[in-house]
Amino acid sequence: MQENECFPEIKILVEDQDNDISIHLFKEAIHSTLKKMVPLNFFKNKSYESEFPILKTLVSNQAPGYLTFYYFGKSQKHTLKFFIEMLSNWLVPGRRLNQSMIFSSEFCIPSLSPLIYRLFKVVIHLDLISDVEQIKANLPIIEAEIRLGMDSSYYAKRILEIKGLSIDAKTALIQENIAYLIERKPQFFDYDLLTEMQHVLVICHDDFKSQRSSRHLSRIICIQYLFRRYLFDRLQVQNKRHFFLKIFKTYLRDQEQNKEVLGIIVGFNFLREKEIFDKRHLIRAIQNHIPNALMVENSFIDNRRSPENFCTLYIEIEKSMGEKFTSQEVSQLRKTLPVDLLDSIEHIVHPIFMPRNEEEIMRNIFSLSSQVKFVRDLPQVIINFDEQTYSKLVFTIIVVRVVEPSGASIKELFDKSETFLDYTHDRCKTLGYLRGKHSKEATVFTVKISKDDFIRRDNSIDLNKARQSVVFELLRILGEFRDFNGGMISKQNELLAELKVLLGEETDFNELLLENFFFSITPIVMRTVLEAETLKMFFSLLRETIEEEMVPPLSYHVKTLAKTPYIYVIVKSEERLNREDLAQALDVLQAKSSEIATAYMQVHEVNYNCYLYRCLDGKRQKLFGSIIQKAVINMFDNKVS
């Protein structure tokens, strides 16, 4: 009894036999089993019930051997039947396993809680090594389903119905299809396909199954199984982004009629903990190509299982007016959707807390005031991004202007205008007078703008575009003004717009890729002084480099183009390039800062370092390309050695 002092006193629910010696032995058996399942200080934690249900499994590595399964949790009427049924019939689908021993007890712990607890121990004899391997493969899903079913009689009933206790004709046909594939195509499908079938059918609603044929459901199950298998196998070898996509036309039974829809299955892995991808990302990416595409109601399946770092998703889409999808649309979707989906993976970023700097506001007011010297001077405006809320972007705006005696205040101008900007007044101060009667006034206020219109395809916020929208609206409300801190931004936007027009005249292009490329160019002044034709050539070379594969065993690829007066070099590499060392190597050219432009970006986990050199001397151009080529080779050869 000394061994059990760490556990509280238990009470078996057969009170009239408390003096029977067998009851004391029974209590000893309960204590002994609990010791194998929970730590000695488990019951000292007041919230120990939050750990329920507790499962523990021991599986032999050889055959013949044993599987021992322990369960400890709150007692419910359905638990014993559900527990035995799951272990007997579904650890090895298609075969019923016999229990060598079953130990079950209900008891309470009066000193801790009035609840009744249930403890199970089931031992199953295993004859075949194939059973041992299959049980080990199926255990994670079976344990997850047992946890779900033990907590809820509804889920227990639903799981058992799907698994065949009350099987309908459609589920039987699906099982036949799955069994046929396992037999005919063992190189692709193993018996764990039955486990995948069980999992998918459990998470599907009855309406989902009733509207789809057994062939359709079997197809979803099998493709998801293959995607998950490929992802698991590849992640054992290489921890990089892997992506699979399947698009097919199919039909739904809708009010006694067949309705054509498009089925889309996606499988990919996450590389970081804070990556998010769900239904809204998938739909938005599809609508980039088919704007009138809508999700079929209740057609989305999110098949991800902890602790796996990959997932498979299924969705069906239809057109808003019920039109059929053309072959060209499906073909284009297969070609372009993968890139958009990868770009749509969202990264959670913590919000920034930074109180507003009042000293900076005062300095800005004085700077603007010094620019307003005459009555006819334009209003001077500074627009700064302030913060991001759940649905809004907030900008702080300072306006210094000359106000006539009868002139309206900025707040009055906003009140009169029907604007989408949410105006919040901060302060208004007179800085002095011009010609004795015209006051020079400084107004500080904030505006809020909905961020929905500025979410890019990769779910980042296009702050530049949002600021531009604020500028245009202020021009409409206040009239002409000078954007004091937006001159460089304005020139960049003009050059980018010109570049988009040039590219759009010849071919379709990835606008997100173009913007990321353009705004990564350094020095920043090069985003305003380079010609649009030059940038077009630079970007086109980048696109070609992205399309080209790196030739094994090399983990990099260098592409060069010389076209007077420029030479362009793109370095594609799996690992990051040491740009500081390369910049030092280029110092031998003694080039001016206005002659060299660089850009760096990552596209689907691959690094791209882009270099441009303006020089009329062909020999110096060749030297520029040669320096980069040698530096890249030395960097990666040293890593290999």
The answer to whether residue 433 is domain-embedded is yes
Q: What is the largest CA-CA distance in the chain?
A: 110
Question: 258 and 209 in one domain?
Answer: yes
289: left (phi over 0), alpha (psi -120 to 50) or beta: alpha
Q: What pLDDT shows up at residue 160? A: 66
Question: 212 and 133 in one domain?
Answer: no
The answer to whether residue 287 is domain-embedded is yes
Question: Among residues 440, 468, 485, which one ends one of the domains?
Answer: 485
- Supply the range of the domain harboring residue 281: 171-347
Distance of CA 2 to the CA centre of its chain: 53
118 and 169 in contact (C-beta within 8 Å)?
A: no
Question: 132 and 58 in one domain?
Answer: yes
The answer to whether residue 302 is domain-embedded is yes
Q: How many CB atoms lie within 10 A of CB 164?
A: 15
Give CA–CA dist 78/457, Å, rounded.
Answer: 48
Question: 132 and 175 in one domain?
Answer: no
567 and 625 in contact (C-beta within 8 Å)?
A: yes
Q: What pLDDT shows up at residue 561? A: 95
The answer to whether residue 353 is domain-embedded is no
Tens of pLDDT, residue by residue over 339-378, are 889 888 888 777 777 778 889 999 999 999 999 999 899 9
Question: 629 and 499 in one domain?
Answer: yes
Question: 194 and 139 in one domain?
Answer: no
600 and 609 in contact (C-beta within 8 Å)?
A: yes
Report CA-CA distances (Å) from 314 to 106, 173, 223, 231, 264: 43, 21, 10, 16, 6
Question: 617 and 481 in one domain?
Answer: no
Q: What pLDDT shows up at residue 313? A: 95
Tens of pLDDT, residue by residue over 155-201, are 776 676 566 443 466 787 788 788 888 888 889 998 888 888 888 88
Give CA–CA dist 513/208, Å, rounded.
Answer: 38
Q: What pLDDT shows up at residue 166? A: 38
The answer to whether residue 352 is domain-embedded is no
What domain count does the chain have? 4
| pLDDT < 70: residue spans in the chain | 1-6, 15-21, 94, 157-158, 160-169, 255-256, 638-641
Q: What pLDDT shows up at residue 505? A: 77
Q: What pLDDT shows up at residue 84? A: 82
Question: 213 and 134 in one domain?
Answer: no
Query: Is the sign of the CA dihedral 623, 628, 631, 634 positive or negative?
Result: negative
Question: 78 and 216 in one domain?
Answer: no
Q: What pLDDT shows up at residue 127? A: 86
Question: 497 and 458 in one domain?
Answer: no
The residues pairing with 253 across neighbouring beta strands, listed in sequence order, are 258
Question: 176 and 156 in one domain?
Answer: no
Question: Among residues 109, 143, 166, which one ends one of the domains?
Answer: 166
Q: Locate 252 and state its tokens.
A: 């739904």
Q: What pLDDT shows up at residue 3? A: 44
Q: What pLDDT shows up at residue 622? A: 93
Question: 151 and 16 in one domain?
Answer: yes
607 and 628 in contact (C-beta within 8 Å)?
A: no
Question: Among residues 147, 166, 185, which one ends one of the domains?
Answer: 166
